[in-house]
């Protein structure tokens, strides 16, 4: 089918885009080169990322007794005295969004790899929707991080001498991850449309086969009782039986074997599962109720 071939081709593209996006996202997530001071400035601030900040003898204006050297984890005890300055509210939000986005994209990559090994159905529409939601959410988190650092790069109340600070290669890697994730989302959405068209094509083929057969599946006896045709001749009395029926018992057995009961005489058990028809005596007829 043409839709199946297109869906398979798009999955290969979607796979490589997803892997590239998750790798670049991880590199930018852990590297401390989002904002960097140019070497010619000889600034006391060197660089900062989502989780690491590096200084070269930096001292806060209200505390000249402490100078900060080297690179440390932002939540390390070394930075306790400058925690409120180095990690403002917006950076907390960016860290939370980036962490959730990284987790979501890693989960999407794991699911896609499972689809590659056929551990998960490759054409499962629900799984495809999950992958789309994961990529869309990751795009939002990356976009928020990129915008936040682009604005903070000019904030003089945060890192000193913003005129000497530039967006570094970690920021560029994050931007690359955003682009790959967005393209993967678009490719995944196109693949979802092809899968939806494939399902509709399959359903139309099944309906066409049923129309060619000219019949549908017969109903269960327990769900729909036998209804006698208006023009059907049905003897209800032994006097009306065929000539070759000599005995009442034979006529009764014939009725039982063919299960030809009047629809007004059908009865069901309360649970609806046991079909227990019995025959009542009709007016002006002999008692031929089967035992």
What gap in Å lies between CA 85 and CA 291, rounded to an integer? 95
The predicted structure's pLDDT at residue 187: 94
Which phi-psi region, left, alpha or beta, contains residue 87 (left: φ > 0; alpha: ψ -120 to 50)? beta
What gap in Å lies between CA 190 and CA 275, rounded to an integer? 52
**Residue 206, domain member (yes or no):** no
**Residue 283, domain member (yes or no):** yes
Q: Which of 107, 118, 119 is nearest to 18 (CA)?
A: 107
The predicted structure's pLDDT at residue 254: 58
What gap in Å lies between CA 59 and CA 162, rounded to an integer? 16
Clarify whether residues 45 and 153 are in a common domain: yes
What gap in Å lies between CA 119 and CA 112, rounded to an integer? 10
Clarify whether residues 136 and 61 are in a common domain: yes
Token pair of 221 as six digits: 């006896």
CA atoms within 13 A on the CB side of 161: 16
The label of the residue with tokens 């399902």 reads 199
Q: Which of 34, 24, 43 is nearest to 74 (CA)?
A: 34
Clarify whether residues 105 and 225 are in a common domain: no
Clarify whether residues 194 and 278 are in a common domain: no
Q: Which of 140, 116, 131, 136 is nearest to 192 (CA)?
A: 131
Clarify whether residues 177 and 271 are in a common domain: no
**Residue 48, domain member (yes or no):** yes
Clarify whether residues 226 and 195 are in a common domain: no
Clarify whether residues 163 and 233 are in a common domain: no
The predicted structure's pLDDT at residue 267: 46
Global pTM?
Answer: 0.67
**Residue 184, domain member (yes or no):** yes
Clarify whether residues 76 and 191 are in a common domain: yes
Token pair of 91 as six digits: 């950076």
The predicted structure's pLDDT at residue 263: 45
Token pair of 167 as six digits: 């967006």
The predicted structure's pLDDT at residue 256: 56
**Residue 187, domain member (yes or no):** yes
What gap in Å lies between CA 184 and CA 10, rounded to an integer? 10
**Residue 212, domain member (yes or no):** no
The predicted structure's pLDDT at residue 58: 86
Please answer whether residues 226 and 252 qualify as being in contact, where contact means their C-beta atoms are separated by less than 8 angstroms. no
Residue pLDDT tens, the chain, 291 long: 566 677 778 899 999 999 999 999 999 999 999 999 998 888 888 999 999 999 988 888 877 788 889 899 999 998 988 888 999 999 999 999 999 999 999 999 999 999 999 898 888 889 999 999 999 999 999 999 999 999 999 988 898 888 999 999 999 999 999 999 999 999 999 998 888 777 776 666 667 666 667 655 555 544 445 555 555 555 555 455 555 545 555 555 555 555 444 444 444 444 444 444 444 444 444 444 444
In sequence order, which residues have a C-beta less than 8 Å from that of residue 260 and are 6 or more positions away? 226, 228, 234
Q: What is the CA radius of gyration of the chain?
A: 38
What gap in Å lies between CA 9 and CA 234, rounded to an integer? 65
**Residue 284, domain member (yes or no):** yes
Range of the domain at 169: 2-199
The predicted structure's pLDDT at residue 272: 46
What gap in Å lies between CA 18 and CA 24, rounded to an integer? 10
Token pair of 57 as six digits: 């003898």
- How many domains, the chain? 2
**Residue 239, domain member (yes or no):** yes
Token pair of 79 as six digits: 């930075």
Q: Which of 77, 79, 20 is nearest to 48 (CA)?
A: 79
């Amino acid at each position: 089918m043409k839709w199946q071939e297109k869906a398979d081709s798009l999955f290969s593209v979607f796979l490589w885009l997803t892997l590239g996006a998750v790798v670049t996202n991880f590199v930018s997530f852990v590297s401390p080169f989002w904002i960097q001071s140019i070497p010619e400035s000889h600034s006391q601030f060197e660089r900062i990322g989502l989780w690491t900040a590096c200084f070269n003898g930096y001292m806060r204006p209200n505390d000249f007794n402490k100078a900060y050297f080297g690179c440390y984890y932002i939540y390390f005890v070394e930075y306790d005295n400058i925690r409120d300055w180095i990690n403002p509210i917006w950076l907390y939000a960016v860290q939370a969004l980036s962490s959730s986005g990284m987790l979501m994209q890693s989960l999407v990559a794991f699911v896609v790899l499972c689809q590659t090994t056929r551990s998960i159905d490759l054409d499962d529409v629900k799984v495809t929707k999950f992958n789309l939601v994961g990529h869309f959410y990751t795009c939002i988190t990356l976009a928020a991080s990129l915008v936040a650092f682009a604005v903070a790069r000019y904030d003089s109340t945060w890192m000193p001498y913003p005129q000497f600070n530039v967006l570094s290669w970690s920021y560029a890697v994050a931007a690359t991850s955003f682009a790959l994730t967005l393209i993967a989302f678009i490719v995944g959405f196109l693949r979802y449309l092809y899968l939806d068209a494939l399902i509709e094509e399959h359903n139309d083929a099944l309906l066409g086969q049923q129309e060619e057969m000219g019949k549908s599946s017969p109903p269960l006896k327990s769900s729909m009782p036998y209804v006698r045709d208006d023009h059907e001749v049905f003897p209800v009395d032994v006097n009306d039986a065929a000539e070759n029926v000599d005995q009442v018992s034979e006529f009764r057995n014939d009725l039982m074997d063919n299960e030809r009961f009047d629809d007004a005489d059908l009865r069901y058990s309360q649970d609806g599962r046991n079909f227990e028809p019995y025959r009542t005596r009709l007016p002006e007829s002999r008692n031929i109720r089967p035992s």
